[in-house]
Structure 1
Amino acid sequence: MKTSLSRPFDMLRSAGVAFLRLGEAGQTEFEAGRIRAVRLAAVLRNTPWMMAANLANAAVAIVALVDNPMHVWVLVWAAMVTAIALLTGLRWWQNRDRPERETASLRGTRRAVVFAVVTSGLWACLSALFYYYATEHQRLVIIAITVGMTGGGGFALATVPPAAIAFSAIMGIGSAFAIAEAGELIGMNLFALYVVYAAIIIRSSFALCDSLTIRVRAQLAADEQRDVIGLLLNDFEENAADWLWGLDRNLLLRRASPRFFEEVATGEDKVYGRPLWEVMPFMDNGRRFLTDVHGSDELRRILHDHAPFRDFEICVVRDGELGVWSLSAKPVFDGNGAFVGFRGVGRDVTQAREARGRIEYMARHDSLTDVGNRVLLNEDLGRALSRLERFNEGFAVLLLDLDRFKQVNDTHGHGAGDELLREVATTLKALCGEGDTIARLGGDEFAIIRAVRDDPRAAAELADRVVNALSQPFVLASGTARIGVSVGIACAPIDGRNADTLIRHADLALYRAKGDGRNRYRFFDTSLDAAARRRNALEQELRAAVAADALSLHFQPLVDSRSGEIVCAEALLRWNHPSLGSVSPAEFIPIAEDIGLIGRIGTWVIRKGCETATAWPETVRLAVNLSPRQFGTPGLFTMIESTLRECGLPPRRLELEVTESLLLNSDSAVESTLAAIKGLGVRIALDDFGTGYSSLSYLRRYRFDKLKIDQSFISDIETNADSRAIVDAVIRLGRDLGVSLAAEGVETSGQYELLRRLGCGEIQGYLVGKPMPAAELERLMDSHQAWDDDRITA
């Protein structure tokens, strides 16, 4: 039973709370309390005017209803209205100086609603009790007072929607009761008009409520932002390394944060009222040791300009040590645009500047050797060129490339290589002067910029000292290392007046020094430039020739020394350019290797040679030289296998010639490739045997089919006993190993006869035949297959 009775009561109470919360939709509890306080404060501000309106309208009603039969009750009613108005006004007067509340509970809204109900109830009585007995004139006065109080009270309470609704509803009930009692049509019309006004009041109340909500929320956000800024500012002033300061219109210090006084090590009483440039502990003499810093006079000038500035660095002294402070500030102007002072911030950037200096140093210096890098070289080269243009001061660029450095890495390890580079850098520092620039360009390459005025001999003297010093043994942790250095020199303005030209010319001179035997220096001359231009032209033309299939093959025969029959022909590449003429293979083959064309060219040579050899007699083999660079291209074995299959040439008729340079740096891939090619049945010949890095271990490690004796031993075999002994030993060695021998460069019948007596199996040279086109070789083979004794001795 108790439960059934409490449920309607709870529903009624919930409805009452919901009514009191009208206009608070979507608000948090905190926002609702703050907005409620603002609404009630607005009602409170209107209280004096509302009470004055109550007193005035009560007086008007007394006068207008003086002859009304209910006049006594009108006086009683008026007394009640007057009492409530006076009590409410007195309470407002007593509380007028109190600060506005920050928040308000629903109890405040409830009080406003009660006040509205009581006040509107009294004014509703005016219509409900006295309208029926009033005269026509009195009724008009009652209607006017009722409408006026409804509008005034409704709008005065508009910021509190429940109070405005209660006030308007009760006033409407009173009016409806009076009009129903009188039963007049005009009253009904006036009531309808009243309903419209009441609806407008209620709608305006909700609109005003929404407007206040938006305004209060914005104010709350602003207050929160201000509080956060205040907290951050307080924390900044207490804990940050930066410090704040402010100047007045006379540039005198008027405000500063505590950190400021810690930095200047002076109390407030000694700095306030003084110019900032007198307060700062300037060290103008210290600017000799620091760059891009300012003194007291410059600070005074920039402040007198009344212009904003940022990161204005000044040189100061603290505890006897130099430091750098950074100042930033903006001027402040009043509403009339008059300057009223500066507001600024400062910080100690000594450590940051030192760190920046270290970073800049690292960006311009090599981390391994602590000499300059390309960045520093380019900057100093630019400064040297600027001095050349302004003062005609000549200088030289020396490019250095260490000789045999790779052997040190291979023999002693990369750690020793790094140690050697550091030792070289130390040596160069000792040899160069303070005005010289030393830079490591990468790997084992260095560069030096040397002031020479008008005397290039100064560069030559330095280069000579460098060559001699770096030729001495270096004692490393892993042992003693011996290297050398090649130096190329270009002098400005003789060899160029811009950086790119000088570097390129010095590089050409370095290339010449290396070509002349290394461990020496060379100056640039115009012939080097011409050679470089020709090489560049050859690179471009060679690419075009390969693309256009403009290369050709010639063939040089090899004959059997006993029978004189042609047993083999070596394919030799030829390039006849329309404008450059015949270009030697010795010139364009290295270029092809450098620019990565050798693989494509080598494939073409093998394919073209095999196609040509298919028309030769079965007893004649094709010999093709393989460049060491070809072994770096993928698919060499596959290409040879497919070429032989497509051309129909038996593998035994193909003979591939390799040089000792390939074997010197061979790895497992080279060994496996050679073994696979030999497994096809292709013959492998060792070309130029007896020169370079000849080693008998090659003959045990690789199974060759032929050894070709280099022509340097053949040219003087008739007159030089040593050459004859070496050739005889090689022939005997080949015979014992079961491989065939071929002699290159045979040009006389005496050489031919001697080699035949010594047992050399094959002869190649101009005596037998020069390199010739395929058609000419075929005619030669058709005309005679043997070289008889009469032809040899002819």
Structure 2
Amino acid sequence: MSLLHLLRENWSVRWRPRWEAARNAVTAHESIDGPQAAHFRAMQITAVRRLFPLVILGNVVNTVAIAATFWGHIGTLWLALWSAVVVLGLGVAQVWWGTFLRRSAQGRVTASPRAMRTLTVQVAMYAAIWMVVPVTVFPSADHSGEMLLGTVTVGMLCAGGFILSAHVRAACAYVAIMALGSMLALVMSHYATQVALLSLLVVYAGTIMAMVVASARVYMSRLRAEAETERQTQLIDLLLRDFEEHASDWLWETGVHGQLRHVSARQAQALALRPGSLAQVSFLDLLEARLPADLPEALEAHARLKGCMTQWQAFRDLEMPVMVGGEQRWWSLTAKPLVDERGAPAGWRGVGSDITEARRARDELARLANVDALTGLANRYRFGRELSRLNELGEGQAPNCALLFLDLDNFKNINDSLGHAVGDQLLRCVGDRLRGMVRDGTVLARLGGDEFALLLWTHTDPLAVDTLCRHMLEALGEPYQLQDVRVEVRASIGIALAPRDGSDPESLLKCADLALYAAKAGGRNTYRFFDTAMAENARARVRLQHELGVALAKEQFAVHYQPQYHLLTREVIGFEALVRWQHSERGLIGPGEFIPVAEETGQIVPLGTWVLRQACRDAVHWPAHLRVSVNLSAVQFRSSSVVDVVDMALADSGLPPDRLELEVTESALIEDHEGAQATLMALRSRGIRVALDDFGTGYSSLAYLRRFPMDKLKIDGMFVRSLDSDQDAQAVVTAIIRLAKALRLDTTAEGVETKEQMVMLRALGCDDVQGFLISRPMPAGQVMPYLARSADVLTPA
């Protein structure tokens, strides 16, 4: 008993502390690492899991090699089962080990001691499963099999130990089981008498365990060092933040009567004076003598500083402008009163900082937040704040102001054709001209793009505003010399007056916008005052847009057809498809009322598709020599799917392509030349005819006729109706017909209403005509009866 007692005492006194120190060097424990222990355990598991792809690859290779070598020499089912357990076990372990990790409230990954014990048991079980085949197969294997098993086992022993070294318990369990299994295999084989082999195996296993422990010690040391570094970093950041918050450029201190004392060199440097000249100088008087005379904020800051010091109240970050060396600087002053041992006031001690650059940057940011960077005018935000003053007036007070919206008429064309640099220069010039015309009490702003706004708080009489608008249009209409380009631009203005048109910002903005829309609709380069009819028109437009959407969904439209008459053969050669809206309340509505709305909202695309399909379905029942002409809007023509839509309409109806004629306007061609040319060539390659509609009213450029493939020019009815009374109209029509003949194009005159007009067109060489003289547009059901009697109705002149 005495010997046992001696051994226990020796263990407790000498060896147990060493053992615990060695254990703590390779494992995490709350008694050593505190709250960090759970995170260290998680990092140990993560370090092993990170190598799982390599582990799986190595085990798969080793398993396949063993299975391939001993396949057929031992039980096939047993070998296959072992291989599956070995390989799939790793995949299960990778997923299972992930469940050991938890996320703490601070967002750190943690693991419990139980998770580490469970992981150790799993590793031991896996090592035991792995050693099943070497133990059972090695004694009866041939030489090559022995070499394979020996190589694989030693490789697994070494690699597994190093891979698991971050988790020392699991690594040691793995190495021990693998070593014991290898020894058992040697003992059961004919190598049992080779004591040297067993000794070497023991030495290798011991060496690997020693290296595992050393590696684990290094890994834990690194984890603890990183944790300590992070803690130190956080502490340093905290100290630095505290230092930065309380740092100052210079210290200042005064006596009970406000005279400076203990003047530092940095304080004297901030004032551009010698330290000796500041002794016993009143701090308040010193600052007062250096206040900028033209800055009201300076007097307010000095009064606040004087009030705080007089009442012995601490202050912080009091900003004050001072003149130093002829330059205005900004100081930030912070101070608290001093008391003596009896608690009586003893003076002031504080810090001063030169914040000139920060103040300038802040003022610049404030300026940029309210000023348009391009023109230097007020921006949308500043304008909105100024307009919000309407809401600040008390109830019953009638605000008196005028709001003007100004929009440049052809700015987009200038910007696109001459470039954004010229466009920006033009906007600056427009802003300068407007700035030179406004008076005091006017807020001039650029709202964005080419939109400007003026808010007049004075001189808001309608006659005065009318005069101002006329002068602005005249001034803006003067040419601009921009770089090497001479540019002319026009503007439209919408005007709303308060309180006549509204007494709150929202109402005035809406009214001015409606007035601007009316000015643009009235021909541009003009101005309009808001009136109630504009609001009603806007509501009617919105209502029409909604009803148009419903009509599209219910297909409440009909296609009427106007015949086209060939002057030479005196026969009907086709019909133009014209859409009508069968309104549920208003009856039949002409296209002039709803087509513009459909084009603005994009509804023209589905509407045009429906008209095209319906026209093709109707035309397929006409005689085979008759064509149908369908108008394509500019929006519809520029759609990427227009060719597919036409193909589908022809395919669904069965109408031959050569019986379809599509009419496009010049506006559909001018914006995307390449795309328009490709679309026209694709249509004409299918045999579809293309006509240029309303020729003579747009750009009428010969370049379009040369560049774009056409079959026909349609002469606008505006010229045809004046043909027998206006020589200029005759000249235009004559020129168009001659031009078309020179380019081998057909011509169709629209709007023929008298026989005299038809006689003159025939004499001028026009090919086709259409108009009320021939027939008004008719429903599809009347086309065939009309054709039956057309020979009797149309007589030669």
Shorter-normalised TM range? 0.5 to 0.7
Residues 684 and 333 (structure 1 numbering): CA distance in 2 closer, same or farther, change over 3 Å? farther
Aligned pairs for 1:181-220 within 5 A:
none
CA contact (8 A) 1:307 1:330 kept: yes
Give the aligned residue type for 1:676: A
CA contact (8 A) 1:283 1:315 kept: no
Aligned pairs for 1:225-264 within 5 A:
241-244=248-251, 259-260=266-267, 262-263=269-270
Aligned pairs for 1:398-437 within 5 A:
398-437=404-443
CA contact (8 A) 1:271 1:279 kept: no
Residues 22 and 587 (structure 1 numbering): CA distance in 2 closer, same or farther, change over 3 Å? closer
Match of 1:378 in 2: 384
1:17-68 deviation line (CA, Å, top 9, x unaligned): 99999999989xxxxxxxxxxxxxxxxxxxxxxxxxxxxxxxxxxxxxxxxx
Aligned pairs for 1:255-334 within 5 A:
259-260=266-267, 262-263=269-270, 278=284, 281-282=287-288, 286=292, 289-291=295-297, 294-302=300-308, 310-328=316-334
Residues 785 and 285 (structure 1 numbering): CA distance in 2 closer, same or farther, change over 3 Å? same
In 2, Cα distance between the equivalents of 1:225 and 1:713?
88
Match of 1:717 in 2: 723
TM-score, normalised with respect to structure 2: 0.64
Residue 526 of structure 1 deviates from its aligned partner by 1.7
Aligned pairs for 1:507-586 within 5 A:
507-579=513-585, 581-586=587-592
In 2, Cα distance between the equivalents of 1:752 and 1:381?
61
Q: Which moved more, 1:437-446 or 1:668-677?
A: 437-446
Match of 2:749 in 1: 743
Structure 1 position 769 matched with structure 2 position 769: no
Residues 337 and 770 (structure 1 numbering): CA distance in 2 closer, same or farther, change over 3 Å? farther
In 2, Cα distance between the equivalents of 1:344 and 1:584?
83
CA contact (8 A) 2:290 2:324 kept: no
Structure 1 position 606 matched with structure 2 position 608: no
Aligned pairs for 1:486-501 within 5 A:
486-501=492-507
In 1, Cα distance between the equivalents of 2:710 and 2:17?
110
1:241-295 deviation line (CA, Å, top 9, x unaligned): 53456789999989897645654658599778x99x7376136964852549733
Match of 2:791 in 1: 786
Residue 571 of structure 1 deviates from its aligned partner by 1.2
Residues 291 and 722 (structure 1 numbering): CA distance in 2 closer, same or farther, change over 3 Å? same
CA contact (8 A) 1:706 1:739 kept: yes
1:515-573 deviation line (CA, Å, top 9, x unaligned): 33322222222222222222222222222222232233222222333554332111112
In 1, Cα distance between the equivalents of 2:754 and 2:791?
17
Give the aligned residue type for 1:492: A
CA contact (8 A) 2:298 2:321 kept: no
Residue 673 of structure 1 deviates from its aligned partner by 0.5
Give the aligned residue type for 2:692: L
Residue 657 of structure 1 deviates from its aligned partner by 0.5
Structure 1 position 665 matched with structure 2 position 697: no
Residue 679 of structure 1 deviates from its aligned partner by 0.5
- Pick one of 686, 689, 695 that aligns with 2:692: 686
CA contact (8 A) 2:292 2:298 kept: no
Give the aligned residue type for 1:352: A
Give aligned pairs, total: 580
Residue 696 of structure 1 deviates from its aligned partner by 3.2
Q: Which moved more, 1:423-432 or 1:581-590?
A: 581-590
In 2, Cα distance between the equivalents of 1:257 and 1:470?
62
Residues 252 and 627 (structure 1 numbering): CA distance in 2 closer, same or farther, change over 3 Å? same
- Pick one of 660, 668, 673 that aligns with 1:654: 660
Residues 26 and 587 (structure 1 numbering): CA distance in 2 closer, same or farther, change over 3 Å? same
1:50-98 deviation line (CA, Å, top 9, x unaligned): xxxxxxxxxxxxxxxxxxxxxxxxxxxxxxxxxxxxxxxxxxxxxxxxx
% same residue: 39
In 1, Cα distance between the equivalents of 2:237 and 2:757?
107
Match of 2:127 in 1: none
* Paired residue secondary structure (2:366): helix
Residue 675 of structure 1 deviates from its aligned partner by 0.6
CA contact (8 A) 1:452 1:458 kept: no
Q: Which moved more, 1:511-520 or 1:567-576?
A: 511-520
Give the aligned residue type for 1:242: D
In 2, Cα distance between the equivalents of 1:389 and 1:396?
19
Match of 1:350 in 2: 356
Structure 1 position 618 matched with structure 2 position 624: yes
Residue 731 of structure 1 deviates from its aligned partner by 3.4
Q: Which moved more, 1:334-343 or 1:439-448?
A: 334-343
Match of 1:760 in 2: 766
Match of 1:4 in 2: none
Residues 732 and 341 (structure 1 numbering): CA distance in 2 closer, same or farther, change over 3 Å? same
In 1, Cα distance between the equivalents of 2:782 and 2:688?
26
Q: Which moved more, 1:746-755 or 1:303-312?
A: 303-312
Q: Which moved more, 1:571-580 or 1:381-390?
A: 381-390
- Pick one of 664, 683, 686 that aligns with 1:677: 683
Match of 1:113 in 2: none
In 2, Cα distance between the equivalents of 1:756 and 1:719?
17
1:576-601 deviation line (CA, Å, top 9, x unaligned): 33345544422322222222222222
Q: Which moved more, 1:558-567 or 1:680-689?
A: 558-567
Residues 777 and 390 (structure 1 numbering): CA distance in 2 closer, same or farther, change over 3 Å? same
Aligned pairs for 1:355-370 within 5 A:
355-370=361-376
Give the aligned residue type for 1:627: S
Residue 470 of structure 1 deviates from its aligned partner by 1.4
Residue 458 of structure 1 deviates from its aligned partner by 2.4
In 2, Cα distance between the equivalents of 1:784 and 1:590?
36
In 2, Cα distance between the equivalents of 1:309 and 1:585?
75
* Paired residue secondary structure (2:288): coil
Residues 427 and 252 (structure 1 numbering): CA distance in 2 closer, same or farther, change over 3 Å? same
Higher-Rg structure is 1
Residue 230 of structure 1 deviates from its aligned partner by 11
In 2, Cα distance between the equivalents of 1:691 and 1:613?
30
Residues 776 and 229 (structure 1 numbering): CA distance in 2 closer, same or farther, change over 3 Å? closer
Structure 1 position 696 matched with structure 2 position 723: no
Aligned pairs for 1:392-403 within 5 A:
392=398, 394-403=400-409
CA contact (8 A) 1:281 1:318 kept: no
In 1, Cα distance between the equivalents of 2:585 and 2:309?
74
Give the aligned residue type for 1:355: A
Residue 758 of structure 1 deviates from its aligned partner by 4.0
Which runs of no fewer than 5 residues in structure 2 stay unpaired? Answer: 1-9, 26-227
Residues 361 and 301 (structure 1 numbering): CA distance in 2 closer, same or farther, change over 3 Å? same
In 1, Cα distance between the equivalents of 2:527 and 2:657?
50
Give the aligned residue type for 1:723: A
Q: Which moved more, 1:531-540 or 1:298-307?
A: 298-307
Residues 627 and 227 (structure 1 numbering): CA distance in 2 closer, same or farther, change over 3 Å? closer
* Paired residue secondary structure (1:295): helix
1:399-435 deviation line (CA, Å, top 9, x unaligned): 2222333343345433222222222222112111233
Which runs of no fewer than 5 residues in structure 1 stay unpaired? Answer: 1-11, 28-217
Give the aligned residue type for 1:382: S
CA contact (8 A) 1:294 1:312 kept: no
In 2, Cα distance between the equivalents of 1:536 and 1:770?
31
In 2, Cα distance between the equivalents of 1:231 and 1:441?
42
Residues 650 and 348 (structure 1 numbering): CA distance in 2 closer, same or farther, change over 3 Å? same
In 1, Cα distance between the equivalents of 2:792 and 2:249?
101
Residue 681 of structure 1 deviates from its aligned partner by 0.3
Q: Which moved more, 1:667-676 or 1:250-259?
A: 250-259
Q: Which moved more, 1:678-687 or 1:399-408?
A: 399-408
In 1, Cα distance between the equivalents of 2:240 and 2:602?
69
